[in-house]
Structure 1
Amino acid sequence: MTPHELPLIDYDTVPVGSLQHRIRSLDGEAIQQLLDYERVHNNRAQVAEVLENRLQELREGATPSGGAQDARPLEAEDTAGDSPVKPSGSPEPMHPPLHGIAGQPGKPKADRPRKQ
């Protein structure tokens, strides 16, 4: 069996943490296929445990949830690569005063009168 024939899309790249949620919609036969594939190809103890637990839940009467695993994840579409944003649309730079009241521009130290 090849990875493309498995009931779970991109099975080999699914993180262990999300596997438990991704297999909820699969029936016992599909879970068994994954478990058999796992034991032959990857033999990851955590993954096998998740699959075995779900298989046991199904044997005890759990039912697969709705949803399907036959659609590929959406890929990002190609973009033109040219941004419609231009530098001319940027606001003027603002340099607020270090101290003072809002709305009153700060003065450089060189412009202040000297105290005598």
Structure 2
Amino acid sequence: MAPQELPLIDYDNVPVGSLQHRIRSLDGEQIQQLLDYERVHNNRVQVTEVLENRLQELREGATPSGGTQEAQPVEAEDTPGGSPVEPSGSPEPMHPPRHGIGGLPGKPKADRPRKQ
């Protein structure tokens, strides 16, 4: 089975954390289809657990939620004029104070004079 034939668009690139939410609208047959594909192609333990758990929920009487998987995921778009933030507006780097000396700002090691 090709990834294009799966009930979940871009299935191979769906993060495991969002998979549980993305499969809520699928029925048992579609979940089984994803599970079979996963076992043959990637066999990721976390993914198979999520799919098996959802399949069990459906067998126990849960119903798929509304929604569809037909739309492509929304990608963020670039702003036409670029970012309004200028690098000159960045704050100066701050280094944590050295241990045991109160009130003195810390310095990175590269700025310290070398001992000879």
TM-score tier after normalising by the smaller chain length: 0.5 to 0.7
Match of 1:69 in 2: 69
Match of 1:101 in 2: none
Query: Which string of whole-angstrom CA distances, capped at 9 and with x for unpartnered residues, describes residues 41-92 of structure 1?
Result: 0000110000000000000000000000011123456876x56x8xxxxxxx
Gaps of 5+ in 2: 85-116
How far, CA to CA, are the matches of 1:67 and 1:34 in structure 2?
Answer: 18
Q: Alignment identity in percent?
A: 83
Q: TM-score when scaled to structure 2?
A: 0.65
How far, CA to CA, are the matches of 2:16 and 2:73 in structure 1?
Answer: 18
Query: Which string of whole-angstrom CA distances, capped at 9 and with x for unpartnered residues, describes residues 13-65 of structure 1?
Result: 11111100000000000000000000000000110000000000000000000
2:30 maps to 1:30: yes
Structure 1 stretches (4+) deviating beyond 6 angstroms? none
Query: Partner letter of residue 44 of structure 1?
Result: R
Match of 1:50 in 2: 50
How far, CA to CA, are the matches of 2:67 and 2:60 in structure 1?
Answer: 21
Match of 1:14 in 2: 14
Query: What is the number of residues matched between the two proteins?
Result: 85
C-alpha distance 24-4 of structure 1, shift in aligned 2 (>3 A)? same
How far, CA to CA, are the matches of 1:46 and 1:77 in structure 2?
Answer: 31
Match of 2:87 in 1: none
C-alpha distance 71-78 of structure 1, shift in aligned 2 (>3 A)? same
Helix, strand or coil at the partner of 1:19 = helix
